[in-house]
């Protein structure tokens, strides 16, 4: 989609992607919005308006409003007016869309990245758990809490180095 | 001639029911914030509440658009009268102790789980999108509430007795969840919603499995005819509304 439009429009779309790759997630500043996979598309509407598709991670995530504002600020800063931000609900955002780079950044930041691709909702009802402790790499962990400081995370404790850590849940 | 209009009206009513269920349960769970038995449970309940209110926002916004009178999610959530709410009466029942909150939650989580699983394939694109999103979240809610039901039921004599009592108390309210009326029927026939009988069968199997693991007795079926989904609510609901609506009633249009 990014390459579909030629000329000036595609240049503005590339600038928009570059600008959005600099916008931090308000709750997990180690990740950019592009790393997180919430930017679904950047395209040019007839008349030259840049349209950015944005998905929420969780229905009630309070960061969504802040993210929308940050997107608008970044695009304005880059002189990409006029633009519009469209909410995209389907297909629903999944943790599978966190980029490889994003997963590396999460682990570096001390948050265990989502461990598995989301195969099916029924399967995940049985539970998912972090692959390894982001500090020492041990696979021996115990769950402290199903929910953490944000809707997207759970709390675990490493049974090897004994440190607590957050786990970005599969969804 | 009125077929399309009726279907539109039935769809609005149906979406309103779904939205009110999430809204009212989310409000009830919000009462726990700062009062949970441990910080992990406080967080768990607060996060579940947040998801439910997020889902309610999508659903009530959609209901407002279907209505076509310019009411937004806030107007619908905060400025209706008691009899205009369409949540099942189970959702508005008081929190009681932690065990009672967990029982109410398991019963509704399992219901929403099976319902959203069916709605994921809805012929209504917007509803399918909202359901697909909500289903992923409901999975975590059910894991949380189901895990606690088992721990409390199969816990001490005291915890077992308390959750069994809560189950006996709340069980009659589940009748309403599966009582199909003309709105449910119209939606099922239009390919928009799953048949409630199918939802009930899946719900019942899942609940039986959880109850067995929790060493709890499934209460006997009783008749029940008090339908929140038709606007007939229990005495508790007015009190819930007075707290939930206070800000918007006192300071109309106030926002953050």
Q: Are residues A115 and A74 in the same domain?
A: no
CB contact under 8 A, A151 and B47: yes
Binned at pLDDT 50, 70 and 90, residue B6 comes out as: confident
Question: pLDDT at position A115, please?
Answer: 84
pLDDT digit string (tens) for B162-196?
A: 999 999 999 999 999 999 999 999 999 999 999 99
**All residues at 6 or more sequence positions from A77 whose CB lies less than 8 Å from its CB, including other chains:** A19
The answer to whether the CB atoms of A144 and B40 lie below 8 A apart is yes
Instruction: For residue A128, give its domain range.
Output: 98-168
Give yes or no: residues A11 and A83 share one domain.
yes
> Is the same domain home to A81 and A14?
yes
Residues A64 and A26 in one domain: yes
| Beta strands A141-145; A50-54: pairing state | unpaired
Inter-chain contact A60–B44, Cβ cutoff 8 Å? Answer: no
Please tell me if residue A171 touches chain B, with a CB cutoff of 8 Å.
yes
CATH of the domain at A45: 3.30.300.130
Same domain, A105 and A65: no
Digit-coded pLDDT (tens) for A48-78: 999 999 999 888 888 888 999 999 999 999 9
Average pLDDT across chain A, whole number:
88
Residue B162 structure tokens: 């308390």
Predicted local confidence at residue B1, as pLDDT: 43
pLDDT tens digits along B196-230 = 999 999 999 999 999 999 999 999 988 887 789 99
Into how many domains does chain A fold? 2
With respect to residue A92, please indicate whether it lies within any of the assigned structural domains. Answer: no
Tell me, what's the pLDDT at B225?
Answer: 75
Residue B202 has a pLDDT of 98
Is the domain of A118 the same as that of A141?
yes
> Can you give chain A as a three-state secondary structure string?
CCCCCCHHHHHHHHHHHHHHCCCECCCCCCCEHHHHCCEEEEEECCCCCEEEEECCCCCCCCHHHHHHHHHHHHHHHCCCCCEEEEECCCCCCCHHHCCHHHHHHHHHHCEECCCCCCCCHHHHCCCCCCCCCCCCCCCCEEEEECCCCCCCEEEEEECCCCCEEEEECCC
Judged by CB atoms closer than 8 Å, whether chains meet at A89 and B130 is answered as yes
Give the closest of A58, A62, A148 to B43, CB-based.
A148
CA of B131: which chain A residue's CA is closest? A92
| B203 interface with A at CB cutoff 8 Å | no
A132 and A77, same domain (yes or no): no
Give how far A138 is from chain B: nearest CA, Å: 24
Structure tokens, B191:
């390919």
Q: Specify whether A46 is located in the same domain as A78.
A: yes
Mutate to test the interface with B, among A68, A92, A122 (most CBs of B within 10 A): A92
List A residues 116-155 in contact with B (Cβ-Cβ < 8 A): 121, 124-125, 127, 144-149, 151, 155
Question: Are residues A83 and A17 both part of a single domain?
Answer: yes
Task: Please tell me whether residues A25 and A65 are part of one structural domain.
Answer: yes
Residue A3 confidence class, pLDDT cut points 50, 70, 90: very low
Topology adopted by domain B3-220+233-250: Ferritin (1.20.1260)
Is residue B158 classed exposed, middle or buried when 0-12, 13-18 and 19+ CB atoms within 10 A define those classes? exposed
Mean pLDDT value across residues A15-44: 94
Last residue of a domain, one of A87, A115, A149: A87
Q: Are residues A108 and A39 in the same domain?
A: no
pTM of the model: 0.91
Hey, of A54, A60, A127, which one would you mutate to test binding to chain B, going by the most B CBs within 10 A of its CB? Answer: A60
Going by C-alpha positions, the residue among B213, B201, B204 that lies closest to residue B154 is B213
Within 8 A of A63 by CB-CB distance, chain B residues are none
Domain C-terminal end among A58, A87, A116: A87
Considering the domain architecture, whether residues A35 and A76 belong to the same structural domain is answered as yes
Residue A4: the pLDDT is 46
In a domain, A31, yes or no: yes
Domain positions in chain B are 3-220+233-250
* Interval A144-162: pLDDT, tens: 988 888 888 999 999 999 9
Q: Which residues of A touch B130 (CB under 8 A)?
A: 89
- The backbone torsions φ and ψ at residue A87, rounded to the nearest 5 degrees and listed phi first, read -75, 130
What is the model's pLDDT at position B244?
96
CA B71, CA B134: separation in Å to the nearest integer?
23
Residue A23 scores a pLDDT above 70: yes
Chain-chain contact of B140 with A146 (C-beta, under 8 angstroms)? yes
Confidence of residue B4 (pLDDT cuts 50, 70, 90): low
Chain B residues near residue A146 by CB distance under 8 angstroms: 40, 44, 140, 143-144, 147
Q: Among A68, A87, A106, where does a domain finish?
A: A87
Summary mean pLDDT of chain B = 95
8 A C-beta contact, residue A112 and residue A163: no
């Amino acid at each position: 989609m990014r390459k579909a439009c030629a000329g000036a429009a595609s240049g503005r779309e590339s600038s928009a992607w570059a600008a959005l790759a600099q916008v931090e997630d308000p709750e997990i500043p180690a990740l950019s919005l592009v790393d997180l996979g919430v930017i679904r598309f950047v395209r040019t509407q007839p008349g030259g308006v840049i349209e950015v598709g944005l998905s929420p991670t969780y229905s009630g995530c309070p960061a969504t409003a802040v993210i929308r504002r940050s997107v608008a600020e970044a695009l304005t800063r880059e002189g990409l007016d006029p633009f519009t931000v469209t909410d995209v609900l389907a297909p629903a955002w999944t943790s599978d869309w966190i980029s490889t780079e994003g997963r590396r950044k999460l682990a570096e930041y001390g948050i265990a990245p989502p461990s598995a691709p989301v195969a099916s909702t029924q399967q995940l009802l049985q539970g998912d758990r972090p692959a390894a402790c982001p500090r020492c790499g041990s696979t021996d962990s115990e769950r402290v809490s199903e929910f953490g400081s944000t809707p997207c995370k759970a709390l675990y404790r490493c049974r090897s180095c004994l440190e607590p850590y957050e786990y970005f849940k599969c969804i | 001639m009125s077929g399309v209009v009726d279907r539109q009206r039935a769809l609005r009513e149906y979406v309103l029911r779904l939205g009110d269920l999430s809204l009212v349960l989310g409000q009830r769970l919000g009462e726990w914030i700062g009062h949970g038995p441990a910080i992990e449970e406080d967080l768990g309940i607060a996060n579940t509440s947040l998801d439910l209110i997020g889902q309610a926002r999508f659903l009530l916004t959609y209901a407002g658009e279907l209505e076509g009178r310019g009411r937004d999610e806030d107007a619908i959530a905060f400025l209706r009268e008691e009899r205009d709410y369409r949540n099942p009466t189970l959702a508005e029942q008081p929190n009681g102790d932690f065990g009672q909150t967990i029982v109410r939650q398991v019963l509704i989580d399992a219901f929403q789980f099976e319902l959203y699983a069916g709605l994921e394939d809805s012929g209504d694109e917007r509803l399918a999108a909202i359901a697909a999103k909500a289903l992923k979240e409901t999975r975590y809610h059910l894991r949380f509430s189901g895990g606690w039901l088992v721990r409390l039921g199969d816990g001490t004599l005291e915890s077992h007795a308390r959750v069994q009592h809560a189950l006996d108390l709340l069980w009659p309210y589940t009748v309403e969840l599966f009582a199909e009326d003309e709105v449910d029927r119209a939606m099922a026939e239009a390919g928009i919603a799953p048949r409630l009988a199918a939802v009930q069968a899946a719900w019942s199997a899942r609940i039986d499995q959880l109850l067995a693991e929790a060493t709890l007795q499934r209460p006997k079926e009783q008749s029940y005819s008090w339908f929140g989904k038709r606007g007939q609510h229990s005495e508790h609901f007015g009190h819930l509304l007075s707290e939930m609506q206070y800000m918007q009633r006192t300071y109309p249009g106030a926002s953050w």
